[in-house]
Amino acid sequence: MATEGSEGLRKAYRVRSVAAQGHLWLIEQDAGEHIGWHPDTARHRRQEALSEDAWGYGLIPIGKGGHLMMTVVEREALSELLKGTRERQARAFNRWLDSLAPEA
């Protein structure tokens, strides 16, 4: 089941997500846009820092009954990846991530 957006502490972000395997998985493209990362930067950081079970590909529903294969990243893994960053946008997004319920 895909959901869009969640209320954060001070700001709400529109990030498509999927609940699977007892975890919340965020669309990497959506998260990267809010963090301020170029798609290549997001891919490089994910491949360098995250284990293979912390990210993957998912069929995400799009308009008119279609689906699109997109990269998804587990919420807790993305939060860990963002810890210690100096980028203001990334820190704000990480605070929002940490405010989400740990289990979907």
* Token pair recorded at residue 11: 């700001």
Contacts of 41 (CB under 8 A, 6+ apart): 32
Is the pLDDT assigned to residue 92 strictly greater than 60? yes
Cα–Cα distance, 69 to 56 (Å, whole number): 10
Phi, psi (degrees; rounded to nearest 5) at 48: -80, -35
Phi, psi (degrees; rounded to nearest 5) at 62: -125, 175
Q: What is the pLDDT of residue 63?
A: 83
Q: What is the pLDDT of residue 78?
A: 94
pLDDT digits (tens, 9 = 90+) for 39-84: 898 899 899 999 999 999 999 888 888 999 999 999 999 998 898 7
